[in-house]
């Protein structure tokens, strides 16, 4: 992947950063943001598949009592 590194100034909820940093087990806020972005990108194929399936199929209630 071609990485274009840019310096960004963002306003981000510090509580979310702290929780995510602990969740990912990383030391820096930079690593935290990079992991979160990587995770979002990794979900792309799943989201794309869900969008394709929108409106297809149905739900069958197998627990319905007569």
- Chain position carrying tokens 């992947």: 1
Instruction: Please state the domain count of the chain.
Output: 1
Q: Name the pTM for this structure.
A: 0.67
Would residue 22 count as lying in a domain?
Answer: yes
Distance, CA of 24 to CA of 31 (rounded, Å): 9
Domain membership flag for residue 9: no
Specify if 45 maps to a domain: yes
Domain span at residue 32 reads 14-53
Q: Would 62 be classed as within a structural domain?
A: no
Residue 26 resides in a domain: yes
Rounded mean pLDDT for each run of 10 residues along the chain, 66 residues in total? 84 97 96 95 88 75 78
């Amino acid at each position: 992947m071609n990485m274009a590194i840019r310096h960004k100034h963002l306003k981000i909820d510090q509580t979310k950063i702290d929780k995510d940093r602990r969740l990912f087990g990383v030391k820096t806020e930079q690593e935290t943001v990079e992991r979160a972005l990587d995770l979002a990108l990794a979900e792309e194929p799943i989201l794309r598949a869900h969008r394709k399936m929108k409106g297809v199929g149905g739900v069958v209630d197998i627990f319905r009592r007569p």
